[in-house]
Chain A
């Protein structure tokens, strides 16, 4: 029994944990921008952590539920409503056939994750149901969710305790200003010492050009570059390089003005130099940044990055234990 989409919200897409393994062919990993929140939503409703749900941005869709299911909404503080009654996020909610799930105004964060027991059962593409609209892969016919869509739900429902909730100390949202930890990268030598220092000292703001491909930032000083003889094929702009691979999380600064962090639907290569890479432990936070909010880049080394990754893994394990 499917879910009927009454209104789609804004840029609502079907996402799971993505399709790693094809980035070298130019097909990004895709998947939820806040993977921790996606996993939590699935755990709450008794799904595999990699089941497909909905990622909605700033505002929620309106969904007519046609069978008894458990629903959970995590990520941004976007309060779910069942037949108009406002309920808790990060909580397993029983929904009866015929009821409507809608959302109140966003209170904080940017992306809400909606999991439904059984998971969304659209056809996988390259091993994932995640929507990659530019490549017309996954989702509903390769696109975002629209009003009138009928979303099939899987029959494989786990057993869950209704009304279970993820304790607030295990949830995660960005601070103010949010801090994104960065490891300087291969091209760090291209900027002057003073410019590199300013990059970490100054406060940046999320620009309105911030989506699943990349998040752009404004408000800091333009970078000063070290003089060089342009390498073959790079061109004269000092922010250009001979084409290279772009890692997920890498920070490019076209023209030396506005840094862009590449995210789940990023391009896999090109000719902009990269200052460094946001550590994997902090990538989820980027998905919860609204336009105009302030952030700081914090310089870290590999040791800190690996410890942070272990801490995130431990946090997820704590959630699994809390719901077991």
Chain B
């Protein structure tokens, strides 16, 4: 079981849910497929979905909801 880091290409604000009233896209322990969305990054008035490029199980989120992030920063770790 290899660990795989999901990194951000963009700087901005990271959100774990599609809108403030909705639940998180994914929780720790959830199984994800390639292309599944785990969060949104807001920058320049645009929300860009963060999708995973590896199938597996989410073992951690490295940033909190509404944290400011930088390019290359690890957002989540997947074991797959």
Contacts and interface: CB of A to CB of B under 8 A. Distances in A.
Interface in B3-50: 7, 9-13, 42-46, 48
A105 B46 contact: no
B46 A106 contact: no
A219 to B, nearest CB: 13
The winner among A11, A106, A210 for most chain B CB atoms within 10 A is: A106
A243 interface: no
B53 to A, nearest CB: 12
A11 B9 contact: no
A10 interface: yes
A68 to B, nearest CB: 29
Nearest to A292: B68
Given A58-B71, A59-B71, A291 B45 contact: no
Contacts, number: 46
A10 B10 contact: yes
Nearest to A105: B72
Contacts of B68: 291-292
Contact of B44 (A59, A105, A208): A208
A54 B68 CA distance: 27
Given A10-B9, A58-B9, A208 B71 contact: no
Contact of B11 (A11, A209, A211, A290): A290
A116 interface: no
Interface in A272-310: 290-292
A106 B70 CA distance: 9
Contact of A105 (B12, B48, B71): B71
A182 interface: no
Interface string A155-181: 000000000000000000000000000
A260 interface: no
Contact of A106 (B11, B42, B48): B11
A208 B13 contact: yes
A239 B51 CA distance: 43
B71 A11 contact: no
A57 interface: yes
Nearest to B73: A105
A291 B43 contact: yes
Contacts of A106: 9, 11, 71-72
A107 B71 CA distance: 7
Contacts of B71: 58-59, 105-107
A59 B10 contact: yes
A59 B7 CA distance: 12
A291 to B, nearest CB: 6
Contacts of B70: 290
A208 B43 contact: yes
Given A11-B44, A58-B9, A291-B44, 14 more contacts: A11-B46, A57-B44, A58-B10, A58-B43, A59-B10, A106-B9, A106-B11, A208-B13, A208-B42, A208-B45, A209-B44, A209-B45, A211-B45, A290-B70
Which 4 pairs, one residue from A and one from B, show the smallest C-beta to C-beta distance? Answer: A105-B72, A106-B71, A59-B9, A211-B44
29 contacts: A10-B9, A10-B10, A10-B43, A10-B46, A10-B48, A11-B44, A11-B46, A58-B10, A58-B71, A59-B9, A59-B10, A105-B9, A105-B72, A106-B9, A106-B71, A107-B72, A208-B12, A208-B42, A208-B43, A208-B45, A209-B45, A211-B44, A290-B11, A290-B70, A291-B12, A291-B43, A291-B44, A291-B68, A292-B68
